[in-house]
Each structure stands twice: as structure tokens, then as C-alpha cells.
Structure 1
Amino acid sequence: MESNRIANTNPCISFYLLLLLALFGHIGNMRAQYASLGLEEAYGLARTNYPLIKDGPLLENIAEINLQVLNRKRLPTVDLVGLGQVQSENVQIGTEDPNSPISVSVPLESYRSYLDINYNLFDGGLTRASKKAETTQLKVNQQALQVNLRNLKDQVNTLFLNILLLQQQKDLLAISKEDIVTNISLLQAGYDNGTVLESELAKLQVRKIELESEEISLQGDIDAFLEVLSKLLGAVVTNNTLLTLPEPIFQEQAALAITRPEQKLFEYQRELLEIQKRKFDADRLPKLSLFAQGGVGYPNPLNFADISTSTYGLGGVRLNWNIVDWGVSKKEKKKIDLQKQQIAVDKEVFEFDIQKSERESLQKLNALNAQIEKDRQIVALQSEILKQTAVQLQEGVINSNDYVMQVNAELSARQQLELHLVQKQKLQIEYLTLFGKL
């Protein structure tokens, strides 16, 4: 019977609920209670409430600091240097005879302490390329964050549709229970008049209690899903909250354009690699800088004839040009070209998988439409049979067992119809989410 089918799914539902509760149990306190909540509004609440959203400002702050560091690297560098050395031989001119006209003997030990100042006049565009790489890296990181946050949509979809399905099943149980209650009242009158056996009345009462038990079980599952949804959204979602789904905005045979955040991520990754190639080019260009050095040394570092402790200073222009790097830059740029090809392949695979899923979804939708049409026909027939069975029960033509079996058959047909309707909604929502339209 349908009641057994529902009961058999409870362990899976309970496991799923425990998993979700464990996953979202740490998310913040409730902020608001909603009388009505749309699916797209729930997406926004989930994004705002999810802790990962805090990464956005952090990424911007890190990028800003990195840019400030690059700017400060263009400022002059000032280093304090101390140097002491002893050598086995040094300059010696003339003889040690004090009467010699020329006598210079530089000490074997020397000491220096000085300030070394360097200012980069031209770095070949390396700083400019580094800044561009930093801003592009920020775009890559932010887009990767958007890709990760997009996964929340799938979780919201699952919770919404599970709640709606369980609520529909609970409503159907209430309809069947109402029919049972009506016939219990009619049989009660017959029992009071002595025309109906007590056992016939008891069978209907048992079925009524079974339906009430199933209602309690379904309500427990609904409450658990609502609890998980509330934690995910950071808002109070109750049984009184009306959950609404968007109307399908596509023709089931029409192809949709893909507008997923992953596509921008691929583009930003390619852009970053291209900028890195420019950095290799800039690194090969000549570098021009000013330098100055001033301090005190023993003996005088600039005048070998002065062997006393002396102050000194010097300055000039320095040119650095890495003329030969043995093909390192060429190999690095070749590697970047291969990485760009990898990204192109990843994008192609991503879009191919979506297009493949599109065909599968449309085939399933067509099959569900056919099933739903048949379900409606079956429900209409089962409802008509139930009406006739109720009349036959009241007239004593059939017993309570026959009536309860028809109640179950009609309930099963309605549940099957609602299940397929929700499955269709699920496919439509997943289809729109897959293409980035939700």
C-alpha cells in the first residue's frame, strides 16, 4: 500500500535530515520570520547568511595591501651595511724605508659602514604588469567565490521541493481521512440502529488512526526540513510560510544560453595567464636605476693612499639587462600557452556536460508530461470508483475492507500524481539553475 511506500522512505529522509542539520547547525541565529518566501528570495538569504560570503571583503583587502606593497617597492631603498674583512695580501708601493720618496702600504684588514641608496628609474614595465596581475587575480578569486556560493542554490532547491512534496502528501492524507470520517459517521448511525456490525465500523476507525499516524510522521519530516532551511537562510520558515516556485520561463524544446559564473572564471583565469606572459617580457627589458653610497671606512675605500679612517661617498647610474637567460622566458611562456589551452578544454568540457544534461532533462520532462496525463486519468477514475464504493458501503453491498482498499487505491493514485508534478517542478528548476537562469 501507499502508506507502506511512504514509511519505507523515512529512513533515507531521516539520514538526509541528520546530514543537513549537522552541516548547517553552526550557521547564525534567525533574523526574520517570513509569511511567504520565493525560491529566488531564498537564494539571496542563503548567500547573505552563509559564512563564506565573508571572504569577499577579505579578498579585496588583501588585493589592496598587495597593490600598496607594489607601489612602495618603487620608492628608493635605503640599506645600512657593515663590512669587515682580512686578506692575505694588499697593495704596497715603495719600500718600508722612511726616507723613500714613495711609501704606501695598505693594511691587510679593512672595515666599512655605509648607507646604500637605490632608486629604480625604469623597470621595463614590470611593476605595471604586476599591478595588472594583482587586480586580475582579485577578479579570479572573487569569481571563484561566486562559483562556490552558487552551490547553495542546489541545497535550497532540494529543501524547497522536499518540503512542498511532503506538504502535498500530508494534504492528500487529510482528504482521505475526511472521506473516512464521513463514512464513519454514516456507519455509526447504522451501528446504532443495529444494521451494521461493530467490526465494520472498527475497520474504518483503524484506517482513520493509521492516516493520522502517517500525518504525524510526515509533519515530523516537514518540521525537520523547515528547521534545516531556516538555519541555511538565517530566517524563520514555519509551516505557515507559503513557499513559492517561479513559473517556468522557457519552452521545453528551446535551447537556453549558458550564463554560469564558471564561464567568467575561465575567462579571468585566461586573462591572468596572459598578464603573466607580459611580466616575463617586462623582466627581460633593461632596468635603469640611480644609486648612492656614503659612509666611513678604514682605510679610505676610494683613496688607497689614505690608510686612515675616512668618510666617503659615491653615486651614479646603474643599468641591468639580462641579455641571455638561456631560453627560460621562452619556456615559461610556452608553459603558459599550454595552461591557457587547458582552461579552454575545461570550459569546453563544462559546457558540453551542461548541453548533455539539457537533452536528458528535456527527455525526462517529456516523459513526465505523458505520465502526468495518465495519472490524471487514473485519479479521475479512482475518484469515481471511490464515490460508488462509498455508496455501496452505506447500502451494505460491500464491507469495510473493500472500501478501505479503494480509499488506499485512490490515495495512492493522487500521491503518484503529486509526486510526478513535484518531480516536473524539480526538473524545471534544476534545468533553469543548470543554465544559470535562476
Structure 2
Amino acid sequence: MKRFLIIFTAFFLVFSGQAQTISLAECHEQMRTNFPLAKQQGLIDLTTKSTIEALMAQYFPQFRLSGVASYQSDVTKIDLNVPEGMPAIEIPTPEKDQYKVYLDVSQTVFGGGSLGVQQQFARAEAEVNKQKVEVELYKLQDKVNQLYFGILLADEQLKQTKILKNDLNTALDKVKVLVKNGVSLETNQLNLEAELITLNQNIKNIETGRQALLEVLGKLIGKNLSAETILLKPERVIPKSNFVRPELTLIDYQKQTLSLQNRQLAAQNVPEISLFLQGGWGKPALNLFSTEFEPYYVGGLRFQWNVSRLYTIIRERRNINTRLKMYDVEKEVFQLNNEIEQTQQRSKITQLKNALKSDNELIVLRSKIKETSQIQLENGIITSAEFIREANAENQARQMKTLHEIQLMQAEYDLEQIGTSSF
């Protein structure tokens, strides 16, 4: 029974201790899902829905309840002089205090399409706001890339540093035997032990830096990443031929919004025709000479045209056209900068590929020199300080290759991130 418990415990520890793995694509997806900024797009949709519903309500009859109570200094009086012998005619005089409560109902028959354009404008404005969020998320994606490749570089640095540590430990074990046998000086042993302490410090610093990068990455993607988290090396990126930068799409949406503003100006300068019905209770009602509270109603066709809008429409359209040209210039500048970035990035990729070729040659040479130095150290031909120098030189060559590999991988992803410069 005891043996079974030991086996079960070991089995549980092995499988419960499996490290968490995550890919760059998963980080992008988690960031877009969990980062607070992404929630704004849903809120924009809700706001737009409410705005359009409010505009749709204007298609229904509009009701307005009003009341008036007034007192006036004078009223209309009619005095008739009738010939003698004829009966006198008394025309009632309106009272100076007057009251009226009425309900006004109106239904637009023709509004020049203004409401329809306003709905289109609300949707277009929502697309602009959502695209602004998309631009910010795209910038965050670049930050995720920087952190991700920074962690990959730290992993490779740890790997190479631990290889160097193993080489020095192997050399130290052999030097201890030589010192014990009186064949080598104790300073050779002390030099190796001191170098190992320095290496352990470097390993600790790299691990601390890696953990800091993991914590920042975890906050961006909304996920807890432990120190044991393994980041998978991304596959070679394949550039998307039909990809368009979100900044360019934003400019396009902004131009569409301005075009709708032009249409809205035209719709606002069209006469509005509506049916109306007013019903109420007042003293006097429609009969001005009545001194009693009476119900009344009035119905008909109403024509309205805000002619004063014609004073400003030319200036407003000129302003819109100027802003459209400004967006064209902004787009042109962005495309030019984009092309410059692409050229610089391609040049960087070529340089890194060339550097990797020489890195491989340098590592072969440094490895041979280190192996020869190790044999010379064991035979007492060189000191441990000289061996450490050659071991560090080989490690430096491997570290540079690792750096160039990660930089090349990141440069290829950065080139994809830059995207195409035209539609």
C-alpha cells in the first residue's frame, strides 16, 4: 500500500507539474479578447443602436402638450352706431384673462431624407470610433510582439549561459583533482569558482528580467503567466498580400463620414412638409368673442423651410472639401512613411541573415579553440583564466547567434506588422 502511494504521488507530481505553454497567436487573441480597450467596441455598438432608435422615433407622429394663461392690457372692442329706430346690436367684448390647453400632433410627410442620412451618419461615426479602437489594439499587438520575443531571447540566453556553466563545472572538477595532486596551482581552481559565481548572478538577473517581461505580457493578455510558462517559437511568418493597415481603413471611414455630412447639408436645406392637428380647450377657443371655456381643433398641412441655412451652406461645404483633402494628404504621408519602414525592415532582415552565416563559422572556430584550451588546462599548459577567456568567447559567439536568430524572427514579424502601404 505504501509503495502504491509513493508511485501515485510521483505520478501526480509529474503530470501536475507540466509547464504551461502559449503561442504568439494565442497572445494576440487573448489581448484582443481580454484587454479593457476591446470592450469599447461593444459599447460603441450599444450607443449607436440607441442613437438610431431615437432617430427612428422621429418617423412616428410627434406629440406636444402645451398650456397658456395670460392677462392682456386691452382687448378688441367693436362699437356699432345703428340708425334710430333699429334695435341695438350688442357685440360681446373678450375678457382680458385668457386660458388655453392644447395638444399639438404633427407627422412629417416629406423631410428631404434628412432622417435617413442622419442614421447613415450615426453608423459611419460608429465605424470610425470602432476603427480608432482597432488602431490602438494594433499598437498593443506590436507591444505584445516586443515582450514575447524579449522573453524568447531571455530563454535562449539562459540556455547558453547554463551550457557555459556546465563547461566550467566540468573544468573545475578536473582542476580540483590536479590541485589535489599538486599538479596545478590553487588559483586556477579559485578563478573557475569565482567565474561560476558570476555566471550564477547572470542567470539570476536573466531570470528576474524574464519574470518582469512575463508579468507585463500577462497584464496585456489578461492571463496569469508563471515563471514556468514556456513560450513557443513562432513559425516563419507568411506576409498577407491583402492586408491593409487599420490606420488607412480609419482614414477611409473618416472620409465616408465627411461625405455623409455633405449629404446631410443638402437634406437640411430642403423644405419640410408635415400634417398637423391641434386640439384643445380654451377661453376663448377659436371664437375670440366667446367668454366661455370651449373645446376646439385645427388641422392642416404645414410647410417649413429654414432659408437662413442658405447663408452658411457654401462655407460648410468648402470646409468639408478642405478636410477631405487633408485626409488625402494624411493618407499619402502615412503610405510614404510605411514604404520607408518596409525598406528599412527588409534591409535589417538581409543584414541579420548575413550575420547568422558568419555566426555559424565563428562558433565552429570558437568551439575548437575552447576544446583545445580545455585540454591545455588539464595538462597544465595554460591557466584557468586563459581557459575562462576562451570559454566566454565561445559563449559570446553562441549568444550573438541566438540574438540574431530572435532578432530575425522579430524583424520578419515586424515587417508583417508594418503591413501594406496601399489599398
TM-score range, shorter chain: 0.7 to 0.9
Give distance in 2, aligned partners of 1:104 and 1:281: 52
The alignment of Structure 1 onto Structure 2 pairs a total of residues equal to 400
The answer as to 2:228 corresponding to 1:239 is yes
The answer as to 2:112 corresponding to 1:128 is no
The answer as to 2:367 corresponding to 1:383 is yes
Give distance in 1, aligned partners of 2:379 and 2:182: 14
Unaligned runs of 5+ in 1: 1-32
1:240 is displaced (CA, Å) by 4.4
1:256 is displaced (CA, Å) by 6.2
1:95 is displaced (CA, Å) by 5.3
The equivalent position to 2:46 in structure 1, one of 57, 61, 81, is: 61
Q: Which secondary structure state, in structure 2, belongs to the residue aligned with residue 92 of structure 1?
A: coil
Q: Which secondary structure state, in structure 1, belongs to the residue aligned with residue 101 of structure 2?
A: strand
The equivalent position to 2:352 in structure 1, one of 352, 365, 368, is: 368
The equivalent position to 1:77 in structure 2, one of 62, 83, 89, is: 62
The list of structure 1 runs, each at least 4 consecutive aligned residues, that deviate by more than 4 angstroms after superposition, is 95-99, 255-258
1:126 is displaced (CA, Å) by 0.8
The equivalent position to 1:107 in structure 2, one of 95, 108, 122, is: 95
Alignment check: 8 A CA contact 1:39 1:246 kept: no
1:316 is displaced (CA, Å) by 0.8
Alignment check: 8 A CA contact 2:80 2:89 kept: no
Match of 2:297 in 1: 313
Question: TM (normalized to structure 2)?
Answer: 0.88
Alignment of 1:252-331 (within 5 A): 259-300=244-285, 302-323=286-307, 325-331=309-315
Q: Which secondary structure state, in structure 1, belongs to the residue aligned with residue 112 of structure 2?
A: coil
Match of 1:431 in 2: 415
1:317 is displaced (CA, Å) by 0.7
Identical-residue share of aligned pairs (%):
28
How has the CA–CA distance of structure 1 residues 240 and 331 changed in structure 2, closer, same or farther, with 3 Å as cutoff? closer
Alignment of 1:7-406 (within 5 A): 35-94=20-79, 100-237=88-225, 238-249=227-238, 259-300=244-285, 302-323=286-307, 325-406=309-390
Unaligned runs of 5+ in 2: 1-17
Give distance in 1, aligned partners of 2:409 and 2:377: 38
How has the CA–CA distance of structure 1 residues 216 and 96 changed in structure 2, closer, same or farther, with 3 Å as cutoff? farther
How has the CA–CA distance of structure 1 residues 96 and 77 changed in structure 2, closer, same or farther, with 3 Å as cutoff? farther
1:387-407 superposed Cα distances (whole Å, 9 cap, x missing partner):
111111111111111111111
1:247 is displaced (CA, Å) by 0.2
Alignment check: 8 A CA contact 1:38 1:246 kept: no
Stretch deviating more after TM superposition (105-114 or 209-218) = 105-114
Match of 1:419 in 2: 403
Amino acid at match of 2:127: K
Amino acid at match of 1:337: N
Amino acid at match of 1:417: K
Stretch deviating more after TM superposition (373-382 or 393-402) = 373-382
How has the CA–CA distance of structure 1 residues 201 and 359 changed in structure 2, closer, same or farther, with 3 Å as cutoff? same
Give distance in 1, aligned partners of 2:81 and 2:212: 102
1:156-196 superposed Cα distances (whole Å, 9 cap, x missing partner):
11111111111111111111111111111222222222212
1:238-272 superposed Cα distances (whole Å, 9 cap, x missing partner):
4341422230325xxxx966511222221111111
Give distance in 2, aligned partners of 1:96 and 1:208: 129
Q: Which secondary structure state, in structure 1, belongs to the residue aligned with residue 309 of structure 2?
A: coil
Alignment check: 8 A CA contact 2:271 2:306 kept: yes
Question: TM (normalized to structure 1)?
Answer: 0.85
Amino acid at match of 2:255: R
Alignment check: 8 A CA contact 1:140 1:265 kept: yes
Give distance in 2, aligned partners of 1:206 and 1:173: 15
1:436 is displaced (CA, Å) by 6.9
Question: What RMSD over aligned residues (CA atoms) do the two structures have, in Å?
Answer: 2.4
Give distance in 1, aligned partners of 2:113 and 2:277: 23
How has the CA–CA distance of structure 1 residues 311 and 235 changed in structure 2, closer, same or farther, with 3 Å as cutoff? closer
Amino acid at match of 2:275: L
Match of 2:14 in 1: none
